[in-house]
Chain A
Amino acid sequence: MILEARNLGWSVRGRAIVSNVDLAVREGETLGLVGPNGSGKSTLMRLLAGIVRSTSGEVRIRGQKLHGMPRRQAAQLIAFLEQQAETTEAISVRDAVELGRTPWLTPLQPWSDEDDRVVRQALADTDMEGFECRSWATLSGGERQRVHLARALAQQPQLLLLDEPTNHLDIQHQLSILKLVADLPITSVVALHDLNQALGCDRVGMMSAGQLVALGPPRDILTAERIAAVFGVRATIVVDPEDGTSIFRFHTA
């Protein structure tokens, strides 16, 4: 068990945004989080990343309490990609990826050859070699998301948290980002909007009104009844004649 949340909750001004979430992330798996807008996915991700402090319950990473752990130590274990982080600074791709080394450096422990190696590897893993000198402003949305992913990999985390990494990307880039994440030998939790994409995860958790209402293998969780109850749409299953995979088609209820 790499990450464990017990009775996790967060409320603001008396309104519960996330409540009673029990969740255990297994070593090596890709866990998908689905749910309608406002169901608390992003907040849950922030709670799991430890950048928002829970108002109830606790998160443990490798058995250690996340709350109370120094930020530096937490960032050496968990990398978090928020939705569409942007900058107006004139930074280069290499600058952006090098930020991932922040938790491993101190003023007395400066940049080393090992850090250079990790950054090169992260760029290679995300197919961004050769982009080092490009400025952030000249990158496309898909390239930016890859750089963010490279930055997260440069953190050398044991757990990767991705909040809708395919948001605003065209279909080709959506698929390539997801494939990249799936192929990485790293435990990850991914918030997703596309339920068909969620079918590709090892397990899926479904959020509704701040609660984790179901958790398990994708085919068990993503059923027509549950989708109707949580998303308010009618889902029918169709089979792709090419490989026999069944996918969802959605209709207004």
Chain B
Amino acid sequence: MNFCSARPTRASRLGRGAMGAAALFAAVLAGTCIGETPIPVLTVLQTLANKIFGAAHVVDPIDVGIIWNYRLPRAIVAACCGAGLAVSGMVLQSLLRNALADPYLLGISAGASTGAVAVTVAGLGAGAVSMSLGAFIGAVTAFLMVALLARAAGGGVTLRGTGQIVLAGIAGSQLFNALTSFIITKSANAEQARGIMFWLLGNLSGARWPDVWLAVPVAIVGLGACIWYARALDAFSFGAESAASLGVPVRVVQVVLIGLTALVTAVMVSIVGSIGFVGLVIPHAARFLVGVRHGRLGPATALIGAVFLIAADVLSRTIVPGQVLPIGVITALVGAPAFALILVRGRRRS
């Protein structure tokens, strides 16, 4: 690993930013073109020109429908979820100094599942509450319980108490997972159980424009906060006490960033279900590629997460003809070997 690359100039940083934006655009474009019915890139670009700039290209209305109503919002939501989950994972790994931390550590995915199941299977909210809203409420409830437990156990009080947060998260996750299983085994029929199983592993097929308008700002706020606090996150390299002695208001940074990652994760999970693997592994992959400084690591993590989840979504739609696989299955099936490769190569280079 190159430990001493030259400090990037303003021009080279702009260049990198432009390359990142281009890669993201290319991934969204690819995610829109590829599918059971392949659509030529030109058609997609013409449709975008028509819709966004009011151009008057002649395009098959069926293609337009597929592109504009299904694939494009789906690709954008995938990008936002990938970026949001990966950045959340990175922030938690840095703050808690735990390489195994991921966005679901704080009980969010377990709580979201319970919320979703409570609405769809147990019929909570009497139809007035959507599954997404149920999942969001469940996620936030679980996180608040975990946060309170961690605080009661002394996690938030001392600078050394990050272990308590992890333990509280485990306790919370177990509790809510048990509740989910309880509700499913007690009330769900086979059809509902299958649907829930699908949702639990992550499902992007419901992504539409309203989801885009929710996911995009949330992902941007998450990444923005991470960039704003990049130096503070760097300062946690040697632990919270060291960060404090470097002038970081540790408590404030912890509360703001953990709260924000919880919110980002809760929103993403409520839109697409709990997609595993992304939040745990993408930050590590990004560290191998661009190093540990958060000013660079944050944007790189977001970009890799976004591109990875779009690719995983494309695979989940195309790998078995006529059937859509849960995206969580793909992220783990493809991601685990890819990550193993990065681990081995990173070891050789350093």
Contact = CB atoms under 8 A, between A and B. Distances in A.
Interface of A: 46, 49, 51-52, 70-76, 78-80, 82, 85-92, 94-96, 99-100, 102-103, 105, 107, 111, 116, 132-135, 155
A134 B287 CA distance: 17
A91 B247 CA distance: 20
Q: Give 8 nearest A-B pairs by CB, closest first.
A: A75-B247, A103-B247, A133-B4, A92-B3, A80-B245, A85-B238, A51-B244, A72-B247
Contact of A103 (B97, B159, B246): B246
Contacts of A103: 246-247
A71 B248 contact: yes
B185 interface: no
Given A88-B99, A90-B350, A95 B238 contact: no
A91 B246 contact: no
A102 B234 contact: yes
Given A94-B4, A107-B228, A135-B350, A87 B248 contact: no
Nearest to B243: A102
A70 to B, nearest CB: 7
A102 B350 contact: no
A91 B237 contact: yes
Contact of A91 (B232, B239, B292): B292
Most buried by B among A52, A70, A99, A116: A99
Contacts of A96: 237-238
Given A95-B293, A99-B234, A102-B235, A90 B247 contact: no
A92 B246 contact: no
11 contacts: A70-B249, A82-B242, A86-B238, A87-B239, A90-B1, A94-B3, A95-B293, A99-B235, A99-B246, A103-B247, A155-B246
Given A90-B1, A135-B3, A95 B245 contact: no
Contacts of B20: none
B241 A51 contact: yes
A23 B277 CA distance: 53
Given A73-B247, A79-B245, 12 more contacts: A71-B244, A80-B245, A82-B239, A82-B245, A85-B238, A86-B238, A87-B237, A90-B292, A105-B231, A107-B231, A132-B4, A133-B3
